[in-house]
């Protein structure tokens, strides 16, 4: 009975891990910034019922944002690989630029969308931010537990 229970537990863990891997592969893709912008625009069209004029404006905005995002990710990746740390001034400037870009994005969306669509978009953005925050906190918690295990094994 004990072995059966252990086998069942391992099987469920493996199945769960495999499903997460497939899910992650779908979202972590090698799409070009333009492809990402097109997909994001289509998702927004479905969620907000955008007309063709709104779609083209949102697509242009999304293309610009995804290109900038890819450029920033590559910069962060190169910094991480080189082991270089950002100074507090560099972090401040980066965060300041990021917030300015978000404000500009919000103002642009306010011009493109009608009031109802804008309210729905704000809800979607808030939900996305909460989801990202939750994911980051989960990762931090996981990293801390890994560090504790590593330190515990070191002391033995």
Tokens describing residue 15: 């199945």
Per-residue pLDDT tens digits for 70-120: 888 888 888 888 888 888 898 899 899 999 999 999 999 999 999 999 999
Per-residue pLDDT tens digits for 48-63: 999 999 999 999 999 9
| Secondary structure of 42-110 in HEC code, one letter for each residue | HHHHHHHCCCHHHHHHHHHHHHHHHHHHHHHHHHHHHHHHHCCCCCHHHHHHHHHHHHHHHHHHHHHHH
Q: Which residues of 65-100 are buried (b: 16+ CB within 10 A; e: fewer)?
A: bbeeeeeeeeeeeeeeeeeeeeeeeeeeeeeeeeee
Share of the chain above pLDDT 70, in %: 72
Extents of the domains making up the chain: 34-114
């Amino acid at each position: 009975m004990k072995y059966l229970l252990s086998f069942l537990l391992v099987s469920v863990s493996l199945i769960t891990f495999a499903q997460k891997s497939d899910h992650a592969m779908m979202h972590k893709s090698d799409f070009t910034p333009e492809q990402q912008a097109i997909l994001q625009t289509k998702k927004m069209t479905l969620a907000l019922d955008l007309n063709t004029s709104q779609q083209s404006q949102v697509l242009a905005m999304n293309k610009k944002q995804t290109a900038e995002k890819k450029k920033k990710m590559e910069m962060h990746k190169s910094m991480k690989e080189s082991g270089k740390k950002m100074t507090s001034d560099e972090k401040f400037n980066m965060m300041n630029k990021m917030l300015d870009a978000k404000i500009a994005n919000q103002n642009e969306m306010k011009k493109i969308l009608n009031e109802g669509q804008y309210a729905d978009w704000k809800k979607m953005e808030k939900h996305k931010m909460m989801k990202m925050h939750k994911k980051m906190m989960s990762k931090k918690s996981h990293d801390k537990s890994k560090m504790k295990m590593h330190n515990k094994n070191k002391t033995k």
